[in-house]
Amino acid sequence: MRSKVMITGPGIADEALSLLDNNDIEVLRVLPEVTTPDIVDLVSSTQPDGFIIRTNQINQAVINASEKLRIIVKHGVGVNNIDVEAATNRAIPVLITRGANSRSVAEHALTLILALQKNVQRFSTGIRAGKWERAGYQGGELTGKHLGLVGMGNISRELIELVQPFRMQITFFDPYATDDQPGIERATSLENMLANVDVLSIHCPLTPETKNLIGAQQLASMKPSAIIVNTARGGIINEADLAQSLRNGTISGAGLDSFEQEPPQGDHPLWEFSNVISTPHIAGATAESMVRMGTTAAQHIIDYLHQNTVDRDSTLNPKVL
């Protein structure tokens, strides 16, 4: 009998679907708009052996609805929509596609940094409104500036490589990083780093510890000319405090690819600022990374269901193995 994998969300790359099919695994689809109770019913009726999760909330009820469920794989790295504890209680490994979209996210972070540094959004909007704001304008260069990184994982490492031509001074804060990076300063505290950076780029997971990690106190300690970019998860920055800091001129601008509530409300307080650039949580969604994430997720499924082998480095709850 063929194994079954349920894929939630907008779908995965054709290369990944072919990989699953060639390994005799049937694909079941759940669209993004399907509610969690309806997913429970679908899982209960189809009894999949594995999940590949993009969007949708996968809670304890969903996980327990399939007695045959053996593995859960996140198409990406953020598992805020997966109840990892519930999976662990059933001895089900939860894997991520570690590193598959790191380059894409790092490039997106650099795009936001450069756009903020050059005031791209303000002038693009202004010129369409009939403004020609050339007189008196003086932009800033990224070269020689100080970059602060919150988190030292694959994405931060990619971003470090990308900014090398800018000869930036780079500092990172990550109490869980086990190794230092050549030529990169490790901050002893977040507060010490924030006071000195020109650019702050966030690349840590959203956890109880990092929830509202950047709030009014942290923003107030930064330079008025500093910019902040978040391509990680919403909720790491306190958005109300960020809006107030921008209103007060405490910092110079922000680039956000993720929000505490997604999609954010139409009257979000950040929308009043021309020095805020926002994108709809798409930093990792390039054509290239979609293939890498999809095929990596598919291979995790194949390896575990057919060979009972697992990539421990990509497993969030290795104690179940």
Does the annotation count 209 as an active-site position? no
CB 281 within 8 A of CB 250: no
Bridge partners of residue 173, in order along the sequence: 150
- Which of 177, 205, 202 has the alpha carbon at shortest distance from 77? 205
Does the annotation count 75 as an active-site position? no
SS3 27: strand
- Which of 66, 44, 39 has the alpha carbon at shortest distance from 54? 39
The whole-angstrom separation of Cα 22 and Cα 26 is 10
The whole-angstrom separation of Cα 54 and Cα 237 is 23
Among residues 233, 239, 292, 300, the one annotated as catalytic is 233
Among residues 70, 157, 281, 300, the one annotated as catalytic is 281
SS3 55: coil
**Residue 214 backbone phi and psi in degrees, to 5:** -110, 105
Tokens of 270: 């950040």
The amino acid present at 113, given as its one-letter code, is I
Among residues 262, 272, 288, 312, the one annotated as catalytic is 262
CB 45 within 8 A of CB 30: no
Does the annotation count 133 as an active-site position? no
Which residues are CB-contacts of 42 (< 8 A; sequence separation ≥ 6)?
6, 28, 30, 34
The amino acid present at 106, given as its one-letter code, is A
> Based on C-alpha coordinates, what's the Rg of the chain?
21
Half-sphere exposure of 128 (CA within 13 A, CB side): 5
The amino acid present at 127, given as its one-letter code, is I
CA distances, 120 to each of 116, 117, 123, 234, 307 (Å)? 6, 8, 5, 23, 51
The whole-angstrom separation of Cα 308 and Cα 38 is 30
Residues serving a catalytic function are 233, 262, 281
